[in-house]
Structure 1
């Protein structure tokens, strides 16, 4: 999903990517270049393996299944190397999601959170990555009106998600296993649900647990104004975000090598 295609229909969810690196290609993840964002938040979760983080304000730790990296770009950041794969991990899989921020946050100061799995909360088979579901509130400081869940549904079991009132945007994407969501889905498949807020009934098929992410939200009420790495609610806001990115780019170049002893490069704000 990208902001120029399915993101137009599913905003505030505007980008989704599944990444999957085996032992022979994990080192390629370290080659991702630093890049900028503004106007969005990025949400990274892992369905296999883990990554190290090392941040001056958040400390050091490890994000694996059930944990999350939340990065609210706001007025602008450069990032891309704030996490590194541990030497003992041979398979890394997960999702990166972008959220279009509301007008009151799209030019706010950036924010980063690294929350490990033992600090996250669950409802049944679902980790509540973002939002509040069934009275359980995620520790991520995300805008209201958005739920994002990471779910492992055991083989043969059923589960029903009831979107909260007003959540007429809903979708899911599968990382592994097979899932009956009215149609049979498998790894890499994404499905969009009707915009009626109806319960979403799911069943894990086959012999393997079904692992997937599910999002629901109140619709983002603004037209998307798109830059190369930015999504904003208005053209003037986009111009401010991109100007900030250019300014930060010059400061980043002047800052020189910011690589930590553990190999990470903290988000540049």
Structure 2
């Protein structure tokens, strides 16, 4: 896969953790992703929401797009639509996606790049496959993560971060058998490029067959592992986990996982906000009154103006 790769022998190595004195986290539950249609009709696999929201807090949604080999004319995206009150993090492993928003942010994301959009007080944006991908077809594979904003930051000005593939911090497991890409947050003192309002850690790891990956993990963070491809085991009890499944962990000091095949996983966790959540479609606030205000502001054009005339599914949903 074209997501950032490197020779693990040349990378900084994660520390070897003591086997008997480390409080390894156990798997609390395994959640299978469900299938949905989004945007113009592209299929996603979604492991959450669906679990108890408190277990995923501060994360709101994870959509796994592909991997799919599009034929000519088949690639689809999500044209202009609104957001308020959270952040969308789009990480592309294969393919090309183009972002544009009403606050002036935008760019092209491909092969290990990340688009980090803070909707904050409100923004309109568009996410579409490149014209070349639409015309010729090709491989497409990526994920989008929604990160909640604390109550104090829900009205922050919109912000856009274009994280190029080369900006991602690369690490090796202690034995050199796994490549870890740090997109945001901190692992063992190594920090990723993503700027966050909420303390989180977001990683993509590729484990060679039979390789083991251990990670120190903040005790006050929750922790989840989602499988992009392959299979392996995770947790202190070696719970089996395969493509399209999410493991949710209980408390502890560290995570452990071992691959059966070549195994690609997302590893994510954060400090729970423990705040009320009111959500409706593309809006996530703290109260129902704030949701109604977001709908009114969108319909009145106060969330921004697009560059071109548009009609979106949100117009129909919110009317």
1:34-183 paired onto structure 2 within 5 Å: 34-53=80-99, 60-65=107-112, 67-81=113-127, 84=130, 86-87=132-133, 90-124=138-172, 125-167=179-221, 169-181=222-234, 182-183=238-239
Q: Does 1:193 align with 2:249?
A: yes
**Equivalent position of 1:230 in the other structure:** 283
Contact 2:168 2:192 in 1 (8 A): yes
- Where does the alignment leave 5 or more consecutive residues of structure 1 unmatched? 259-269
Counterpart contact for 1:6–1:14, Cα < 8 Å? no
Question: Which residue number corresponds to residue 317 of structure 2?
Answer: none
How far apart are residue 162 of structure 1 and its match?
A: 1.7
Q: Is the 8 A contact 2:228 2:243 kept in 1?
A: yes
Give the direction of change, closer, same or farther, for the CA distance of 1:220–1:172 in structure 2 (3 Å limit): same
The list of structure 1 runs, each at least 4 consecutive aligned residues, that deviate by more than 6 angstroms after superposition, is none
Confirm or deny: 8 A CA contact 1:39 1:241 kept in the other structure: no
Contact 1:46 1:64 in 2 (8 A): yes
TM-score normalised by L of structure 2: 0.70
Higher strand share: 2
Distance in 1, matches of 2:127 and 2:244, equals: 25
Q: 1:28 aligns with which of 65, 75, 93?
A: 75
For residue 242 of structure 1, report the CA deviation from its aligned partner.
3.3
Q: Which has the larger radius of gyration?
A: 2
Q: Structure 2, unaligned stretches of length 5 or more?
A: 1-46, 173-178, 311-319
1:186: Cα distance to partner? 1.5
Q: TM-score, normalised by structure 1?
A: 0.81
Q: Which residue matches 1:261?
A: none
Contact in 1 for aligned 2:84/2:282 (Cα 8 Å):
yes
* Conserved? CA contact 2:106–2:160, under 8 Å: no
Distance change >3 Å, CA 89–CA 118, structure 1 → 2:
farther
**For residues 303 and 159 of structure 2, what CA distance do their matches in structure 1 show?**
20
Q: Residue 296 of structure 2: which of 240, 243, 258 is its match?
A: 243
Per the alignment, in what secondary structure is the counterpart of residue 71 of structure 1? strand
Let me know the Cα RMSD of the aligned residues. 2.7
Within 1, Cα distance between the matches of 2:50 and 2:106?
36
Bigger Cα displacement from structure 2, 234-243 vs 114-123: 234-243
SS at match of 1:238: helix
Partner of 2:213, secondary structure, is strand
